[in-house]
Amino acid sequence: MLRNQRVEPTCVIAGAELTVHVSLPARPVNPDPCIRCSWCVEGCPTRIHPAGLLEAAQQDNWALAERYGIEACIECGVCSYVCPSHLPLLEGIRKLRAHGVGSEECGDVGVNSTPYPDTSHSLHSQPPSEDELS
């Protein structure tokens, strides 16, 4: 790995002399149960509830995710960093966003949705007459 990038052994990294330290990939961490310490909430710059979002991700429940503040998350990763149980909070949030947007559970949220109402039916092809203005 080179700054978290996989590098094949046959790749040329630099044309000069270079020392490369090779190590085995990190073993996956088996997270402990959430201890409800609220460090993730306190560390979050937007004050959402990341542990609740992880629960919503595990249940694939977009309504619960909205309740816990999925829309306000900036994906900074502070929640995962400060969690003493090593919960995959940021990964859960990213999973929610990847599977949530455009699904039927999301209602009007999606790539093609717009926050503005459709007013195309009220546009006039000609300017209004004087009778219509008065």
**Model pLDDT for residues 102-120, shown as the tens digit of each residue:** 444 444 443 333 333 333 4
- Give the pLDDT score at 83: 94
- Give the pLDDT score at 45: 96
Q: Tell me the mean pLDDT per 10 residues along the chain, length 134.
A: 62 67 69 91 95 93 94 94 93 88 44 37 47 57
- Give the pLDDT score at 88: 93
Angstrom distance (rounded) from CA 85 to CA 59: 20
| DSSP helix/strand/coil, 62 | helix
Contacts of 69 (CB under 8 A, 6+ apart): 46, 47, 48, 49, 53
What is the pTM (predicted TM-score) of this model? 0.56
- Give the pLDDT score at 82: 95
- Give the pLDDT score at 133: 55
Domain extent listing, the chain: 45-77+93-108
Q: For residue 79, which phi and psi values (nearest 5 degrees)?
A: -60, -45
- Give the pLDDT score at 37: 95
